[in-house]
A and B are shown apart, each in its own frame.
Chain A
Amino acid sequence: MELFKNLINWASGPTVLFTLATVAFVLSLKYTQIWSKKVAYLGFVVMTAFYFLSMFDPNFYLIVAKPDNVPITFVLFLVAFFTWYSLYQGVENDKRIAVGEEVLEKQEQEKVWVWPDLVYTELLCMVLLSIGLMVWSILLDAPLEQPANPADSPNPSKAPWYFLGLQEMLVYFDPWLAGVVFPTLIVVGLMVIPYIDTNPKGNGYFTLKERKAEIAIFLYGFLILWVLLVISGTFLRGPNWNFFGPYEYWDQHRVEPLLNVNVSDFFWVQLLNRPLPSNPFLREFLGVILTVVYVGVLPVLMARPKDKLPGFLKWASLHGYYERMGSARYYVGVSLFLLMMSLPIKMYLRWAFNLKYIVAFPEIFFNI
């Protein structure tokens, strides 16, 4: 038992959890047959059993049963269910398309009266939801902690749970990026989706095959970079923003090393073995180049056909997309995608090299 708990604790560590989640994500989109009813039943049983049994662990219970964390449990189950449900229906439709049948939705194109068919289900939803909400409210009191005290911040101080993805990003990026630029780009990015997604297929029905790239990118952003970070931010981030496994006690005095270095340190100090130059631009030139390459040069390169690219970059060619989308859509889309991917990239750089900043101009609060 202890071994099992230890294993889970280990697997909940940011590096392992994130990597596992990413790998599982990629595999699940590759082997789509797992989106079946059987797997869903199994998954549900396993998750419920895990949750139920874990409740006997005092540390797990303490965190999960905190009133404001209860919605996260709902998120966990609901997002899992609906992800499965949408992909299950997508896979079913794909099978039909493969054999030349119509998708399910197309078979039900017949129009029916809204009264009573739709209105009735809406009423039922309202009634059931009211019941659920009342029962939830009767059984669980809303939290009220100590009166506000500007002099004593609790440890940890957390943002509301739905912003914990942002707070998690703050670990890896400076506030201006994680707190301002990224949220703005998330909103803008979501809004431009219809304009850069030119795929005419998959409009109005569940499918996976016909929109694989779109769905993969969106799901990665939503499930891994948002929901997973929210859940881990709620359940696994403890005092001093340290990571704690679900069965670990949140010890206020736990100490973890926070030795972060910048690209400039790597280059000047570790590679050239000399102090940092006093001119900030000289100091940061490598980081600036890397950044410019990532956001400026890389999209251009990727737009070129495979045979015009150096060998190590051939796999990254997006020439097909460039052709299909046109340059404006292509650049907007790729830039957004690269910015999204900068989060996992930075995370791995942090874990692998303790990298803090690629570009660091603390003089003007400009750090990347």
Chain B
Amino acid sequence: MQKILNALSSAWDATTESQVWKSIFRHGAVSSNRNRVLVMMSNVFLHLHPVKSRKAGIKLRYTWCMGGITFFLFLVLTFTGLLLMFYYRPTVEYAYADIIDLGEHVPLGVMREIHRWGAHAMVITVWLHMFRVFMTGSYKPPREFNWGVGVILLVLTLLLSFTGYLLPWDQLAIWAITVGSNMARATPLLGTEGPLTAALKLGDINIINAGNDARFALLGARSVGENTLLRFYVLHCVGLPLAAALLMAVHFWRVRKDGGISGPM
């Protein structure tokens, strides 16, 4: 017995001392302060954090971890969304059927549930994150700019959820999008039913009409249809996540650069 354990122990040592192991983990066990620094510096995922942080800012009482949770939800949604893309085809013929199939027979079709509930949860956590930041006055100098970035991220979150809402192509989806997108028709100057649009005329030609107004740009058609589905799909899967990821990078970077998690000035 003793021998076996000793052998295991030396095998473990041999592993941790091998070139391979050392090339991956640049530091020893995170028990010394030096290694605490090293782990934060050498790990790409952890280096978003500073090495040390104010005690108040680390406490859940203060941050509620809402920003972190939101980011984690974004990762969960990216992962499940990626998987869902393997089974979902954004066409009017198949979209609905594919969603049925996800529920009926696709192995681990529960991915769709995780994706949907995660999306709802993310909207809530984004709100609460903003709420917390406001309540602690953390938007005040020097963090004004980052608050602005955060507001845009909030809008992107809503848009991501909104574009995803259409994809199941059921009654809930198309009518929610129809209702939601009809407002674009009333954009001043840019929507057919917007104020002052009627003034935009060139002879008899209405420059803004149902075939080219703001709503058309959103839907890719005069009413929610095949083009809308494709358009929303592309936005949902590529356009908006990219924009969000980019702004998130800015957001996190600025958290660090603006003095870390806020605290009393």
Is there a direct interface between A and B, measured as CB atoms under 8 Å apart in the complex? yes
Chain A residues packing against B (C-beta within 8 Å) = 68, 70-71, 74-75, 78-79, 82-83, 85-87, 89-90, 103-119, 121-122, 125-126, 129-130, 133-134, 136-138, 140-150, 152-154, 157-163, 166-167, 170, 174-176, 178-181, 187, 190-191, 193-195, 197, 199-207, 211, 215, 218, 222, 361, 363-366
Q: Are A160 and B162 in contact (CB under 8 A)?
A: yes
Chain B residues within an 8 Å CB radius of A108: 54-56, 59
Stretch at the interface among B2-10, B12-20, B139-147, B234-242: B139-147
Q: Are A103 and B171 in contact (CB under 8 A)?
A: no
Q: Are B96 and A147 in contact (CB under 8 A)?
A: yes
Q: Please, how many angstroms separate the alpha-carbon atoms of A50 and B19 in the complex?
A: 63
Q: Contacts A126-B72, A176-B195, A365-B195 known; A194 to B117 CB distance under 8 Å?
A: no
Min Cβ gap B94→A in Å is: 11
Instruction: Count CB-based A-B contacts (< 8 Å).
Output: 287
Chain B residues packing against A (C-beta within 8 Å) = 30, 33, 36, 39-40, 46, 49-56, 58-62, 64-65, 68-69, 72-73, 76, 92, 96, 99-100, 103, 110, 112-114, 116-118, 120-121, 123-124, 127-128, 130-132, 134-141, 143-144, 147-148, 151-152, 154-155, 158, 161-162, 165, 168-176, 178-180, 182-188, 191, 193-199, 223-225, 262-265
- Please name 4 further chain A to chain B contacts, defined as beta carbons within 8 Å, in addition to the given A114-B52, A117-B58, A197-B139, sorted by A numbering: A114-B58, A152-B171, A195-B144, A365-B194
Q: Contacts A133-B121, A150-B224, A160-B165 known; A105 to B194 CB distance under 8 Å?
A: no
Q: Please, how many angstroms separate the alpha-carbon atoms of A152 and B58 in the complex?
A: 53
Chain B residues within an 8 Å CB radius of A74: 120-121, 124
Q: Are A150 and B174 in contact (CB under 8 A)?
A: yes
Q: Contacts A108-B56, A137-B114, A142-B113 known; A113 to B36 CB distance under 8 Å?
A: yes
Q: Are B155 and A187 in contact (CB under 8 A)?
A: yes
Min Cβ gap A152→B in Å is: 8
Q: Are B54 and A142 in contact (CB under 8 A)?
A: no
Chain B residues within an 8 Å CB radius of A136: 113, 117
Q: Are A205 and B114 in contact (CB under 8 A)?
A: no
Q: Are B198 and A205 in contact (CB under 8 A)?
A: no
For B188, the closest partner residue in chain A by CB is A176
